[in-house]
Each structure stands twice: as structure tokens, then as C-alpha cells.
A and B are shown apart, each in its own frame.
Chain A
Amino acid sequence: GENVEQHPSTLSVQEGDSAVIKCTYSDSASNYFPWYKQELGKGPQLIIDIRSNVGEKKDQRIAVTLNKTAKHFSLHITETQPEDSAVYFCAAIQYGGSQGNLIFGKGTKLSVKP
């Protein structure tokens, strides 16, 4: 089955700096890669996703890149702000049974220092 590795497990940056979180996946059949943000005391929330027919997607300060050949994808946050502090999870879809389901990475705790 699918295996998703996520690095780093913790990341601390100064406000205004960029942050990069990287994930690798194992199943070449995966074609959907979402990123979720979990703030303290809340459930995860989708912030951006990418499908395998594109290599990059941007939404304001957030971007995701995908390298299908190398089976890795990354989340880039520019001009970080204190409200970006949270745990971020990458995921890849695993197909089997009636439909696909998501396999999540172990998470990255991002701290943005003012």
C-alpha cells in the first residue's frame, strides 16, 4: 500500500521567512496530493491540493510542487506570519476497494516566531 514520509517533524522560522515541508510517496498510481493545516484544538483543514496532471499550484502565500518522477511533493509558505503556526499534514491517495482513501504523513509542527 501507499506510504507517505514527511519531513521535517518540527520547523521553526522567523516571521517573514519562508517555510518548506517535503513529502515522499511510494505508490506511483497516486494522483491526488492534499495538504491539511491543523490549528490547536481544531480538526485539520484543507489548505491546498494538487493533482498529478500539474507540477505546481499557488494560492496567495502558499504553493505546492509535485515531482511525479521522484515521487515527492512540497509545501511552500512565503512571508510567514504567526497565524501560520500549526501542524501541517501532507497526504496521498491510495486506491483499493470501492474507492480511494487518503494516507497521511506524520505531520510537521511549524512555529513562526514574531
Chain B
Amino acid sequence: DVKVTQSSRYLVKRTGEKVFLECVQDMDHENMFWYRQDPGLGLRLIYFSYDVKMKEKGDIPEGYSVSREKKERFSLILESASTNQTSMYLCASSLWGTGAGEQFFGPGTRLTVL
């Protein structure tokens, strides 16, 4: 079974802190994604990566950056956390390809910024 793990289930940070959210997948997938999930807004893509050291902006990249130094690990970075970044963050991975394939999601990290 594909397993996508996220470093924390719950995280509380203060405004202005630098926040790292880590995601690891164990199935040698090429593609990795970061989404945020908010009530009534569904899942919105922040960034994705189709190869090591490659990244592309999604629909809402402002205030975020990412890092992919190894194939299995994709990190989301909040350079200076703000209260409007309080949300559920979901990481996903999928096999290489055009994007028209199954994405496997982690359990999510619920981030609260005070």
C-alpha cells in the first residue's frame, strides 16, 4: 500500500514564526502536491513538484514556498506565518505522468496560527 505520512497531525504556531510541514511518501512517486483545505472552499493547490528540485506554483502559492531535495520528501514552508494561514494542510503523491492519475493523500496537518 502507498503510504504518505505527514510530520504532525496538529501544530500550533505564533504569527511571524517560520513553519515547516514535512511530507514523505514510500512508493517512489514522481509527483508530490501540497493542498490546503478550508470549510466551504474544498481543496486548493498550493504547490506541486514533478521531480526532485522541481516545483510549480498552484492556485494559491502566496505566502508559501516548497523544497524537494529528495524524491520521497516534499516540504511546505511558511516563511512568516499569519493567522489567515490557519488551515488543514494535505500532502499527496502520484506516479509520473500527465497528472491524470490517482493521488494518494496523507492524513493532513491541522495548523493553527495564533
Real complex partners, A and B? yes
**Chain A interface (Cβ < 8 Å from any Cβ of B):** 1, 6, 9, 31-32, 34, 36, 41-46, 49, 51, 89, 93, 95, 97-107
CA distance A99 to B105 in the complex (A): 19
What total of chain B residues lie within 8 Å of the partner, measured CB to CB?
A: 27
Most A-side CB within 10 Å, residue of B33, B98, B102: B98
Q: Is the CB of B4 within 8 A of A43?
A: yes
CA distance in complex: A36, B99 (Å): 15
In the docked arrangement, what's the CA distance between A49 and B39, Å? 24
> For residue B90, which residue of chain A has the nearest CB?
A43
Q: How many inter-chain residue pairs (CB < 8 Å) link A and B? A: 63
Q: When the two chains form their complex, are residues B108 and A43 in contact, meaning their CB atoms are under 8 A apart?
A: yes
Contact A100 B41 (CB under 8 A): no
User: Given A43-B4, A43-B92, A98 and B40 touching (CB < 8 A)?
Assistant: no
Q: Residue B50 at the A interface, CB < 8 A? A: yes
On chain B, the residues within 8 Å of A51 by CB distance are 100
Report chain A residues within 8 Å CB of B98: 93, 95, 99-100
Q: Is the CB of A42 within 8 A of B107?
A: yes
A103–B59 CA distance with the chains assembled, in angstroms: 9
**Closest A-B pairs by Cβ, 10 of them:** A43-B105, A100-B99, A32-B100, A106-B42, A104-B43, A104-B42, A99-B99, A46-B102, A44-B105, A107-B42
